[in-house]
């Protein structure tokens, strides 16, 4: 945080603590919305609410822009804290896509209130957006774009630019060309329009077959296109290839941040919704508990498997000394493989083709063979020196070697399986997967031990 923002934050806090709301109103009136967004998270909940309510009274459009630019957890916090009337009022300033993204996380009375205020056509559009699901790109679509019939002239296009509303956050760089049936046919830059003769038809200077994406695509697909073609904005078309909006780079950067946050929560065995519940302990428990129960029952199954090898363990008690090591190494290898493969899918560097599948498995096998030989030799040698038992050293070495190979292949395989099942590949790194790896690893280890036990 810059020194000027720190001063702004401290000044707001002091004015609220002193109850000097007239001075606070004057300060907020002249403060840029970007600065308010920057310091918003560093205020307490009550301070945030007070600031937002004052700005709403002063300038609804400014309040709407601030709320739009906040992280989603803060958006939800503010909307839940406002009066029902104000929450509905501010939500109605958003696009249907943005409302759809937030509304299912809000109380039913606010949802019903918003729907009741919309015209029939707007209500149907919103309900359609809600049905798309949270990962849909419709929540990113902006209606702030220009389109023109390809048969119109450059002069017509420039007049369209001049007549368009001047939005502070929107920079007109491209105009999309359509045919008589509203199908996307091309794109022309504002620069090209400015240097072309006024009577030239748009279709003569436009770039044909522009890059676009369909409205049923996932956020991951949009991210790939932006990265691949270094785009500033991307047109979105419906099933009939009619333009329904555009996605700006700012919105896709926000989506990337959200995706990164989501992956972190999945690694921890929870959900991003925790951010929305702040100090609501029981709701957070409800989010975390399912993953922990999966781990509990998974490890109970592991304990049951160990009990099946009771005779083996009784005959060779030192075998059990190395169970934690086998589980830890196997889990680490599997996680490394799964995370790298899942990240490859998310960045588009790995595809779901059969060729790619076998390439990844072969790569993981080669890596596992090298790591397995090194680690199993070290552990086997140490166990031999420590317990003066060469058979145990061989057992631990072989078991660990096989486990490393199996775990690496499992880690490489799971993201492909999830992709095939149309599930999020990030699930390959959850506690469920780690528990599965424990079950497989310990079963393999004790099965090998069972064959060696008579040699002790």
Q: What is the mean pLDDT of the chain?
A: 83
Last residue of a domain, one of 226, 260, 294: 260
| Residue 267 placed within a domain | no
| 284/233 same-domain check | no
Between 438 and 270, the more confident residue is 438
Residue 298 and residue 435 in contact, taking contact as beta carbons nearer than 8 Å: yes
Residue 368 and residue 404 in contact, taking contact as beta carbons nearer than 8 Å: yes
Residues 6+ apart with CB under 8 A from 92: 114, 117, 118
- CATH number, domain of 217, equals 3.10.580.10
Query: 100-144, pLDDT tens digit by residue?
Result: 888 888 888 998 999 898 888 888 878 877 777 666 777 788 888
Q: Concatenated DSSP letters for 178-222?
A: E-TT-BEEEEEEHHHHHHS-TTSBHHHHSEES---EETT-BHHHH
| Residue 227 placed within a domain | yes
| Residue 201 placed within a domain | yes
Which residue is listed with tokens 């600065």? 35
**Nearest to residue 432, comparing CAs of 268, 322, 259?**
268
Task: Give the separation between CA 132 and CA 138, rounded to whole angstroms.
Answer: 8
Last residue of a domain, one of 135, 165, 191: 135
Give mean pLDDT, residues 191-211. 94
| 240/328 same-domain check | no
| 313/446 same-domain check | yes
Residue 13 and residue 40 in contact, taking contact as beta carbons nearer than 8 Å: no
Percent of the chain with pLDDT over 70: 87
| 82/166 same-domain check | no
| Residue 271 placed within a domain | no
| Residue 203 placed within a domain | yes
Residue 368 and residue 444 in contact, taking contact as beta carbons nearer than 8 Å: no
Q: Concatenated DSSP letters for 283-296?
A: HHHHHHHHHHHHHH
Q: Is the pLDDT of residue 168 over 60?
A: no
Written as six digits, the tokens of 152 are 């119109």
Domain containing residue 116: 3-135
| 306/421 same-domain check | yes
Give mean pLDDT, residues 368-374. 93
| 295/319 same-domain check | yes
- CATH number, domain of 446, equals 1.10.357.20
> Could you give the residue ranges of the DSSP H alpha helices within 59-150?
60-69, 72-81, 84-91, 96-103, 108-117, 120-132
Give mean pLDDT, residues 311-338. 81
> What is the 8-class DSSP label of residue 275?
G
Q: Is the pLDDT of residue 313 over 70?
A: yes
| 219/252 same-domain check | yes
Residue 156 — very low, low, confident or very high, per pLDDT cuts 50/70/90? very high
Query: 249-275, pLDDT tens digit by residue?
Result: 877 776 665 555 555 455 444 455 544
Residue 247 and residue 141 in contact, taking contact as beta carbons nearer than 8 Å: yes
| 286/421 same-domain check | yes
Task: Tell me the C-alpha to C-alpha distance, in Å, between residue 179 and each of 142, 147, 148, 247.
Answer: 21, 10, 9, 21
| Torsion-angle region of 206 (φ positive above 0: left; ψ -120 to 50: alpha; else: beta) | beta
């Amino acid at each position: 945080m810059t020194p000027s923002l720190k001063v702004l934050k401290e000044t707001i806090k002091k004015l609220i603590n002193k109850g000097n709301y007239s001075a606070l109103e004057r300060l907020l009136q002249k403060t840029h919305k970007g600065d308010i967004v920057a310091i918003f998270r560093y205020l307490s909940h009550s301070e945030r609410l007070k600031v937002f309510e004052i700005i709403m009274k002063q300038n609804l459009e400014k309040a709407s822009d601030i709320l739009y630019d906040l992280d989603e957890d803060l958006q939800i916090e503010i909307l839940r804290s406002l009066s029902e009337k104000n929450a509905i009022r501010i939500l109605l300033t958003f696009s249907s896509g943005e409302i759809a993204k937030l509304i299912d996380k809000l109380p039913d009375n606010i949802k019903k209130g918003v729907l009741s205020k919309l015209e029939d056509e707007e209500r149907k559009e919103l309900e359609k957006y809600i049905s798309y699901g949270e990962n849909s790109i419709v929540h990113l679509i902006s209606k702030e774009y220009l389109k023109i019939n390809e048969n119109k002239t450059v002069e017509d296009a420039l007049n369209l630019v001049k007549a368009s509303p001047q939005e502070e956050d929107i920079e007109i760089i491209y105009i999309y060309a359509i045919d008589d049936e509203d199908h996307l046919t091309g794109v022309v830059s504002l620069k090209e329009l400015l240097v072309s003769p006024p009577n030239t038809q748009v279709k003569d200077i436009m770039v044909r077959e522009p890059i676009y994406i369909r409205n049923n695509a996932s956020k991951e697909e949009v991210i790939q296109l932006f990265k691949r073609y270094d785009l500033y904005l991307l047109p979105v078309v419906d099933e009939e290839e009619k333009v329904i909006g555009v996605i700006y780079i700012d919105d896709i950067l926000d989506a990337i941040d959200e995706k990164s946050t989501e992956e972190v929560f999945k690694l921890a065995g929870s959900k991003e919704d925790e951010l929305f519940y702040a100090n609501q302990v029981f709701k957070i428990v409800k989010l975390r508990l399912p993953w922990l129960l999966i781990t509990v029952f998974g490890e109970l199954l592991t304990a049951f498997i160990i009990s099946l090898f009771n005779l083996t363990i009784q005959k060779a008690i030192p075998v059990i000394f190395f169970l934690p090591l086998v589980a830890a190494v196997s889990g680490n290898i599997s996680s490394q493989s799964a995370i790298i493969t899942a990240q490859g899918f998310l960045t588009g560097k790995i595809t779901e083709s059969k060729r790619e599948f076998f390439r990844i498995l072969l790569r993981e096998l080669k890596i596992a063979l090298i790591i397995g030989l090194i680690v199993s030799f070290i552990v086997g040698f140490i166990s031999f020196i420590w317990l003066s038992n060469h058979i145990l050293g061989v057992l631990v070495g072989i078991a660990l070697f096989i486990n490393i190979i199996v775990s690496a292949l499992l880690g490489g395989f799971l993201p492909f399986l999830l992709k095939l099942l149309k599930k999020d590949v990030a699930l390959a790194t959850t506690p469920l997967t780690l528990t599965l790896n424990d079950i497989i690893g310990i079963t393999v280890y004790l099965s090998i031990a069972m064959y060696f036990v008579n040699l002790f």
